[in-house]
Amino acid sequence: MATTLATARLVLLVALVAGSTSCGGAWELSGLRMPTAARAVQAAAERFVEEEVAAPVIHALRPLVGSAGDLGWRGGVPCDSWRLAVETNNKRDWRTVPARCERYVGNYMLGGHYRRDSRVVIDEAVAYAEGLQLAGNGKEVWVFDIDETALSNLPYYASNGFGTKPYDATSFNAYVFAGSAPVLPETQRLYNKLISLGITPVFLTGRRENQRAITVANLRREGYSGWMKLLLKPVGYNGTAIGFKSDERRKLQDAGYVIVGNIGDQWSDILGAPEGARTFKLPDPLYYIG
């Protein structure tokens, strides 16, 4: 029943949004179309609306949700304060998005807010990269996480409660093995800029070695090329994400590479020495990896 509703919602979403986004620059997510560039929606956002450009769409689709989509004022932590606590690493080791925040997170992710927040992070990263004094010896690398950094799993989360349901390895891995995760266009803008500057991308991901082939195919399909390494977790690895990623960055350094930058959506992507000369945290209110 829940799945049926979710599917119906997505179909409706596509239908509704498709009608309002005919101009270029829309953010396509394999079936989901992000209306960030839709002029009519943008005009609405300019009317001093802090909430999302696509919010009216989701609201219209979910008339039965009742009070679940407010800021959570009555039911506990307000959802916007919860999100800030997550993004600042004050809130840790959480397992699911609070149920009352499903609509809030949905609005955030599908509307313009997530994209806007991502854009500002990437603008900072690009400005930082452009300001570097580079040796240009091919040893300068930038570490990219994959999920919610290079590629987006939003199509999965949009039909699975926007993080409000416990992690389900079976369905999530099925999504990964479909190889259809869309690009995060802001990250790709940074990626391409770095290559043009002579900084070499390295992917470092919590995905496992048995997902290498599909991950390469997915990255290529979404327009990524020219990376030096794709570092995945061994299938049997059971340490922490922060431990795995720190160790891999250490190996890069020991091999003579200089990590000039490091970007991810989780704090476990960017904490733990050696972090890289500078780190960037992309937004992700969908899940936590410690």
259 forms beta bridges with 141
The residue written with tokens 């410690």 in the block is 290
What does the per-residue mask of binding to a second copy show for 102-141, with x meaning CB under 8 A? -----------x--xx-xxx-xxx----------------
Q: Is 46 in the site for a second copy (CB under 8 A)?
A: yes
- Nearest-approach distance from CB 236 to a second copy, in angstroms: 30
Query: Which listed residue (281, 285, 287, 288) binds a second copy by CB under 8 A?
Result: 281
Q: Is 90 in the site for a second copy (CB under 8 A)?
A: yes
- Residue 27 sits at φ, ψ, to 5 deg, of -100, 105
Q: Is 45 in the site for a second copy (CB under 8 A)?
A: yes
- Nearest-approach distance from CB 264 to a second copy, in angstroms: 12
Nearer to a second copy, 209 or 275 (CB): 275
CA 144 from centre of chain: 12
Tell me how far apart the alpha carbons of residues 146 and 152 are, in angstroms, rounded to a whole number: 8
Tell me how far apart the alpha carbons of residues 69 and 178 are, in angstroms, rounded to a whole number: 31
Nearer to a second copy, 179 or 272 (CB): 272
Q: Is 209 in the site for a second copy (CB under 8 A)?
A: no
Q: Is 88 in the site for a second copy (CB under 8 A)?
A: yes
Answer yes or no: are the C-beta atoms of 110 and 32 closer than 8 Å: yes
Nearer to a second copy, 29 or 125 (CB): 125
Stretch in the footprint of a second copy (CB under 8 A) among 77-85, 134-142, 161-169, 205-213: 77-85
Nearer to a second copy, 76 or 234 (CB): 76
Q: Is 60 in the site for a second copy (CB under 8 A)?
A: no
Query: Which listed residue (12, 37, 71, 126) binds a second copy by CB under 8 A?
Result: 71
Nearer to a second copy, 6 or 85 (CB): 85
Nearer to a second copy, 45 or 151 (CB): 45
Contact residues toward a second copy (CB under 8 A) are 42, 45-46, 48-51, 69-71, 73-74, 77-78, 80-82, 84-85, 87-92, 113, 116-117, 119-121, 123-125, 280-281, 283
